[in-house]
């Protein structure tokens, strides 16, 4: 199926243009993606989940219209020519995954065609082994899938095939068999020979993640010194759970809980491998308007205070400023199931405000598994990220800058976190409920319990107004008293450090704790 004009999909459904487009779509879909006399119905009601005859699909498309954003007809033969289509899912997810991959590769491939042989030789002597492997993979990935192919390269086809494996739960053996069949059918194609070869391509591209086993009660990670431990040192729970096979009655061990962690260091390094994104990483210093207006975090007091405290870090604008954000969500799309998975994201604030919050530039750091919220035990899961951030702050990492054709020692700093009030309690460790809910006022929080509604009320906000503000003397609108107290003084970092110096927190939700 070709990638022709699909503007007819936006026409009114009773027009001749829309009817002609639907008939052409059905003709191609039944030619290349049918099972018997049926195809998957892409209407808003069926959402590529149900198989129907041609007349039923045509009726649905006229009455309901196409599912939103279904412009890549992957379930109907576009780009893939297998008649045995896998069990479908919502194409919005498939499209989003593809867009994420496209966004990741877009800046990396850009401008590489214009490099001269001299620049490549010069660059080769500056790159680390991992970076050399990365560039070699990109060069190989630009090969045509087969002679004359304009739709796919070897790398892009492998990535999309790997995505389909993940989306539809294909086993590694099934994936290898499909590759073998495609190699036999298209002997001139540049396909990898097996699942392991395809996975290695993905790994070299930097799209892999680490699986770190965790205690089922969130007490600890089986990581570093505890990597080979079989039981939690806090609650004594096993790191494994047994799963039985109903057919063979055999039992196997699988990890009770797994943290998916995406290493941080290679990701900002890749930003400097493309000249255009390397320039964009200096936007906050070289191109940001400096007229006193707040357009970017670099215009704020926190950024400026950080620069004054750490002049060595701020001297090189290529050093990376990060923000962390996290929140829970239910991945099963139904409120009848109580499940909370917590992704942790990192934002790159070196970039301009119109791209730093785009999905392709936000870095997924880890996925904390459910089914319950980690609560205060989120610190357990943040350990790998904390270790990398500490290393990037203290020592940095040697990085190739494609814009200057030189290497430099890149450092990184986490400036702040972004979250709602409930997630703030988890990340900061300060309880945001009860008498002392305000992290700014801390022990000086003005709170009052309302006995009839059984809720806490916070009435001390007039303390932040100017001394001569008329609302300070307004008794009737508030609690019947004038407010003359000054605003509370926030605790400094030194004071917080001193208060927590002797504090020993035991993480986990297990009932049985280790003795001694």
54-102 pLDDT per residue, tens: 889 998 998 888 888 787 787 787 654 333 333 333 444 344 444 444 4
- For residue 481, name the pLDDT band (cuts at 50, 70, 90): confident
pLDDT surpassing 70 at residue 216:
yes
Which tokens sit at 487? 């605003």
| Helix and strand counts by DSSP (H, E) for the chain | 17, 14
Say whether 377 sits in a helix, a strand or coil.
helix
pLDDT reported for residue 348:
94
> How does pLDDT run across 348-370, given as a tens digit for each residue?
999 999 988 888 889 999 999 98
Put residue 170 in one of left, alpha, beta given phi > 0 → left and psi -120 to 50 → alpha.
Answer: beta
- Long-range contacts, 148-154 (Cβ 8 Å, 24+): 151/3, 151/79, 152/79, 154/190, 154/191
CA distance 257 to 221: 10
3-class state of residue 348 by DSSP = strand
The pLDDT of residue 282: 93
Residue 430 vs residues 26, 424, 494: alpha-carbon distances, Å: 58, 8, 16
pLDDT band at 335 (very low <50, low <70, confident <90, very high): low
**What integer best gives the mean pLDDT of the chain?**
80
Q: Both tokens of residue 360?
A: 């392709």
In 3D space, the residue among 84, 87, 37, 75 whose CA is nearest the CA of residue 181 turns out to be 84
Secondary structure element (H or E) that encloses residue 117, with its range: helix 117-124
Q: How confident is the model at residue 106 (pLDDT cuts 50, 70, 90)?
A: very low
CA-based nearest residue to 405, from 125, 137, 140, 113 = 125
> Which residues, in sequence order, are bridge partners of residue 456?
449
- Tokens 């191609």: give the residue: 28
Quote the pLDDT of residue 133.
64
Does residue 167 register a pLDDT over 50?
yes
Does 315 have pLDDT greater than 90? Answer: yes
On the question of pLDDT at 322 being above 90, the answer is yes
Mean pLDDT value of segment 114-126: 46
pLDDT in tens, 407-433: 999 999 999 999 888 888 888 888 888
What distances in angstroms separate CA 241 from CA 218, 254, 337, one per listed residue?
Answer: 15, 6, 22
- Tell me, what DSSP letter sits at residue 183? H
Tell me the CA end-to-end span of the chain in Å, nearest whole number: 68
Residue 477 phi, psi dihedral angles, 5° rounding: -80, -10
Element (DSSP H or E) covering residue 457: strand 455-458
pLDDT for 118 beyond 60 = no
User: In 476-515, which positions are buried (b, 16+ CB within 10 angstroms) versus exposed (e)?
Assistant: eeeeeeebeeeebeebeeeeeeeeeeeeeeebbbbeeeee
Sequence-distant (≥ 6) Cβ neighbours of residue 236 within 8 angstroms: 510, 512, 514
Q: What is the pLDDT of residue 128?
A: 60
């Amino acid at each position: 199926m070709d990638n022709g004009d699909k503007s007819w999909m936006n026409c009114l459904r009773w027009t001749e243009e829309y009817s002609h487009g639907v008939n052409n779509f059905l003709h191609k879909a039944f030619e290349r993606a049918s099972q018997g006399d049926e195809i998957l119905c892409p209407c808003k009601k069926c959402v590529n989940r149900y198989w129907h005859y041609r007349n039923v699909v045509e009726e649905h498309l006229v009455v309901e219209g196409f599912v939103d954003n279904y412009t890549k007809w992957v379930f109907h033969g576009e780009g893939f020519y297998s008649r045995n289509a896998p069990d479908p899912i919502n194409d919005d997810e498939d499209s989003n995954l593809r867009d994420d991959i496209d966004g990741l590769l877009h800046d990396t491939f850009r401008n590489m065609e214009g490099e001269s042989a001299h620049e490549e030789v010069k660059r080769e002597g500056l790159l680390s082994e991992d970076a050399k492997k990365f560039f070699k993979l990109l060069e190989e990935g630009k090969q045509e899938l087969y002679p004359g192919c304009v739709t796919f390269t070897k790398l892009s086809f492998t990535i999309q095939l790997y995505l389909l494996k993940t989306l539809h739960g294909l086993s590694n053996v099934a994936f290898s068999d499909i590759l073998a069949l495609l190699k036999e059918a298209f002997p001139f194609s540049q396909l990898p020979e097996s699942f392991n070869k395809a996975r290695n391509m993905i790994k070299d591209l930097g799209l892999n993640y680490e699986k770190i086993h965790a205690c089922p009660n969130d007490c600890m990670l089986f990581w570093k010194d505890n990597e080979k431990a079989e039981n939690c040192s806090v609650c004594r729970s096993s790191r494994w759970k047994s799963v039985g096979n109903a057919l063979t009655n055999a039992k196997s061990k699988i990890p009770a809980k797994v943290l998916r962690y995406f290493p941080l260091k290679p990701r900002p390094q890749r930003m400097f491998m493309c000249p255009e994104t390397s320039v964009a990483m200096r936007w906050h210093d070289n191109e940001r308007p400096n007229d006193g207006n707040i357009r970017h975090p670099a215009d704020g007091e926190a950024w400026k205070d950080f620069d004054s405290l750490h002049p060595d870090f701020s001297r090189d604008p290529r050093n990376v400023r990060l923000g962390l954000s996290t929140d829970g969500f239910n991945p099963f799309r139904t409120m009848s199931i109580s499940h909370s998975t917590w992704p942790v994201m990192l934002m790159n604030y070196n970039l301009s405000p119109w791209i730093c919050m785009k999905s392709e530039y936000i870095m997924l750091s880890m996925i904390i598994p459910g089914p319950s919220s980690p609560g205060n035990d989120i610190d357990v899961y943040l350990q790998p990220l904390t270790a990398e951030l500490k290393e990037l702050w203290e020592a940095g990492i040697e990085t190739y800058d494609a814009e200057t054709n030189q290497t430099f020692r890149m450092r990184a700093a986490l400036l702040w976190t972004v979250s709602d009030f409930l997630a703030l309690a988890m990340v900061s460790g300060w309880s945001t409920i009860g008498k002392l809910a305000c992290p700014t006022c801390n022990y000086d929080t003005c709170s009052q319990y309302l006995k009839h509604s059984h809720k806490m009320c916070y009435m001390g906000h007039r303390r932040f107004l100017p001394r001569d503000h008329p609302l300070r003397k307004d008794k009737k609108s508030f609690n019947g008293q004038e407010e003359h107290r000054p605003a509370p003084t926030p605790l400094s970092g030194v004071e917080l450090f001193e208060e927590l110096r002797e504090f020993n927190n035991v993480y986990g939700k297990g009932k049985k704790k280790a003795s001694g």
